[in-house]
Amino acid sequence: MTNPRTAYRENDVRGATAVRLVVLLYEQLVQDLSQALHAIEQNDIELRTKRINHAILVIGHLQSPLDFANGGKVAHDLDHFYNVLRQNLVHVQFHPSQAGLSQQITDLLAVREAWIEVERAEKSLVATVITTITATVPSGGSSPEPEPVRAHWKV
């Protein structure tokens, strides 16, 4: 039997834009760190380790496609953010701190919100382009047949 939550997430990923995938990865990070925070509260070293290790893996997925040639300052700032986040998580792994982990979650939520704004802007742009294209199509619903192109061959 398929887990409904897993099925929903898999469906959300299929056909998602690159920006949507970034938002989903941030949500996964927040979920991992929230579970690690709970594990610290319960003194569950195994779960804390597993969730923090997974979060570090997700950070790698966010960091690896950064395009420094075209991304400019934003790419470098994100790279720095991911490096600091990874270092802080490694520190929390060896020196469990609820406050430290809570701060990482807060930081992730702030950056995730910025990505959500990018996603909204992207959707708005796509909607504008679709509206513009739709407005240029004749009312018959399809474009007229183009004139056939005739090639004149000389033998």
> What tens digit of pLDDT does each residue of 126-141 get?
777 677 666 665 555 5
Task: Return contacts of 54-63, CB within 8 angstroms, 24+ apart.
Answer: 55/29, 55/89, 56/86, 56/89, 56/90, 58/25, 58/28, 58/29, 58/32, 59/29, 59/85, 59/86, 59/89, 61/25, 62/22, 62/25, 62/26
DSSP conformation letters of 36-50: HHHHHHTT-HHHHHH
In order of start, what are the domains of the chain with their CATH numbers?
Answer: 8-124 (1.20.120.340)
Rounded Cα distance, 36 and 53, in Å:
10
Phi, psi (deg, nearest 5) at residue 65? -85, 5
Rounded Cα distance, 27 and 31, in Å:
6
Render pLDDT for 36-87 as a digit per residue (tens, 0 to 9): 999 999 999 999 999 999 999 999 999 999 999 999 999 999 999 999 999 9
pLDDT recorded at residue 93: 93
CB 138 within 8 A of CB 144: yes
pLDDT recorded at residue 14: 67
pTM metric for this prediction: 0.75
CB 119 within 8 A of CB 17: yes
Average pLDDT over residues 92-108: 95
At residue 123 the predicted structure's pLDDT band, cuts being 50, 70 and 90, is confident
Residue 88 has pLDDT above 50, yes or no: yes
Render pLDDT for 6-38 as a digit per residue (tens, 0 to 9): 555 555 566 789 999 999 999 999 999 999 999
